[in-house]
Structure 1
Amino acid sequence: MPGTHPTDSIAEAFESQRDRLKAVAYRVLGSHADAEDVVQEAWLRLSRQETDTIHNLGGWLTTVVGRLSLDVLRSGRARPEVSLDDRSPEFTVTLDDAPTPDELVALGDSVGLALLTVLDSLRPDERLAFVLHDVFAVPFAEIAPILGRSADATKMLTSRARRKARAARRPEGAGRHQREVVRAFLAAAGEGRFDELLRVLHPEVTFTVHTPDGPFVTIGATEVATRARLAGSAARGHAATVNGLPGVISWHEDGTPLSLLAFTVADGRITDITAVVDPARLARLDLPRPV
């Protein structure tokens, strides 16, 4: 029957919306896997919908993805994936001077790990309202039906979520200071200045290197400093943000990724370094290309 299944044009329109829908679902759920599931379910629902009754496909899909994401949050099924260990092999990597998507500009350096940490402090309805309105600029009138509230109540809910998010965000300049610590470490590693390495490393720093043979962990400032040649080579790489953490990505001459590093900094010292040098794993990460 006409209108029962999406036409090719509707399928193409859905594909043009897919990245945005995945971004919405990921910001709400904190999990790439759950976001993929939600977007796939949205497509299945579209395939069963009388598409000639949909007057605003983007709005319809946002509503469906929002409701599905809210269901996942309320059921407790969300699987946050913001750590950098083997249990969470997914990385969100952006080059530091790369253009920031319009919908993320207002969040600054809170995108990524820091944003997900902030969102964890919000109730499911607050989280969805905050992400849809403040990150993706969805009007309150369109968010309200998803939450089963009036537009005014949704506006108040979003305002409360915004206050909580601001209270939970890192102090201004924290990200810049962390990068200065990382730059000092990379410079010292590249020049072999052992004493300087010890100055910026926490005494119990952990250095985890993911290789083709599995992860190898080194603990302790002295031990990590002696193994810093790997990080030293990254000094010639490009500063990046890796799951919200300061990081560095390096490439081979042919443009394939060589290494990816992420640093955790607390109180002016590096407490954790994660490095990925496994070519197969790097190839799966869909990392940015050299600029």
Structure 2
Amino acid sequence: MTLPVNGAERGFTPYDIGRTPATACRIDQRFSYCLYVPARVVENPAAAGRILAVVHGTDRGNQALRDLFVPYAEATDSIILAPLFPCGIGEPQERDNYKYIDYQGIRFDLLLLDMVDEVSARYGVDAGRFDLFGFSGGAHFAHRFLYLHPSRLRALSVGAPGSPTLLDSTRPWWVGVADLEQKFAVRLNPDAMKDVRIHLVVGSDDTDTWEITHSPGSRHWMEGANDTGVTRVERLRSLAANLQANGLDARLELLPGVRHARDALSAAAIRFLEALDEGGGDVPT
């Protein structure tokens, strides 16, 4: 990567442009992130787009997920931020830590916010409101992040979460949000959520249930855990209906013939974001 003329003057090296190395999160170095930074952002940060955070699924392929958004980053002069929330934090083989936001006192929402603010300060890019995409386990995280920090988001794309949380004030977290303020010290802000453009996407053939069916005695079991449906398709339809009933701008997109496919859902998220950038935002239903 060739360094822009003014890059060295601002303290940048070629490692700070394009596909960057993994960088430890400054508030908790067990976690890290990588970026894609178009050279034009370093040349002229005032003309840059926004930060787009993309959150991996259970497989933790954050670099591969970042790379799917490189053409979008180049077209919009946006920075792609891909956090890594490793398995095995706190206990061996633990894979779900980030999905439910809080795990053994670790607040994954606050980790992401710190990463965004660090990148904003480093590159001089405005991050008052950023965009967020999550696939599978990352979609668990992403739609729950909306409930906690809606004022920080412009747009949200939620790709095939297995176990959605509804805006239901009669049921406790994680099935509902009755105790959200007590659990997270954050008050639900429906008006701010209405300002976020929300895209919900799932493949029509995403029907495997082995990973998303909760049984009594399992780690995340609670009453109502399976009430939103059997498959990811049914559960995302339930989430869409719930968000819409609460007045949110949520659009559901069903991809014909697609299974649980990260690349296809990422492409759909890019189309959604491109439509927003062009002043539209309608997606197929």
Q: For this structure pair, what is the TM-score category when the shorter chain's length is used for normalisation?
A: under 0.3
With normalisation by structure 2, the TM-score equals 0.25
With normalisation by structure 1, the TM-score equals 0.24
Q: Which has the higher contact order (CA 8 A, sep 6+)?
A: 1
